[in-house]
Amino acid sequence: AMFEFARMLGLSGSASAAAGGIIVVPYYLNLYFHFLPWDAYLLLYILIAASIFFVFCFSKLDFQQSSGLIFGGIYITVLASTLALVRNMDKGMILTLAVFLVTWGTDTGAFFIGMLLG
């Protein structure tokens, strides 16, 4: 997901792969190994990693792309890990299915309303 988000921001394939790896992989490693005691430290790591990525790619990135990487790194990883936690709850399968059905329904409705109204 982070790879596609970086491509949407206009980054090339290798740059978006590097951005995705730098930002996303440590978050999921921390969920499994707990090497950082609190998620706020990990969010700080994401900000620092994205800033370092911006420094090394300064001539290729603008502010919108770098801020998009920071936002995407936080938004995508936290959302996906929260969905995994919901799945492990009691009746988590039903809740996860409900999330997907509501998302699918609203996206489909928005598509048809957009086609109708223009």
Assess whether 40 and 12 both reside in one domain. Answer: yes
**Can you give the residue range of the structural domain that contains 106?**
91-118
Assess whether 98 and 61 both reside in one domain. Answer: no
Find tokens 């709850």 and name the residue. 89
Assess whether 98 and 83 both reside in one domain. Answer: no
- Name the residue with higher pLDDT: 102 or 46: 102
Q: Where are the alpha helices (DSSP H) in 1-118?
A: 2-8, 13-33, 39-56, 63-87, 92-117
Assess whether 33 and 66 both reside in one domain. Answer: yes
| Predicted confidence (pLDDT) at residue 71 exceeds the cutoff of 70 | yes
Assess whether 37 and 55 both reside in one domain. Answer: yes
Distance CA 53, CA 32 (A): 25
Assess whether 65 and 20 both reside in one domain. Answer: yes
The Cα-based distances of 46 to 76, 82, 89, 113 in angstroms read: 12, 17, 27, 37
Distance CA 83, CA 76 (A): 11
Residue-level pLDDT at 53: 72
Q: Which of 2-11, 13-22, 48-57, 102-111 has the lowest mean pLDDT?
A: 13-22
Assess whether 53 and 26 both reside in one domain. Answer: yes
The DSSP symbol for 11 reads -
Q: How many domains does the chain have?
A: 2
Largest Cα–Cα separation, the chain:
51
Distance CA 25, CA 38 (A): 16
- Name the residue with higher pLDDT: 85 or 40: 85
Assess whether 8 and 61 both reside in one domain. Answer: yes
Assess whether 102 and 72 both reside in one domain. Answer: no
Assess whether 79 and 24 both reside in one domain. Answer: yes
What is the CA 4 to chain-centroid distance, rounded? 10
| Predicted confidence (pLDDT) at residue 107 exceeds the cutoff of 90 | yes
What number is the average pLDDT over the span 4-26? 72
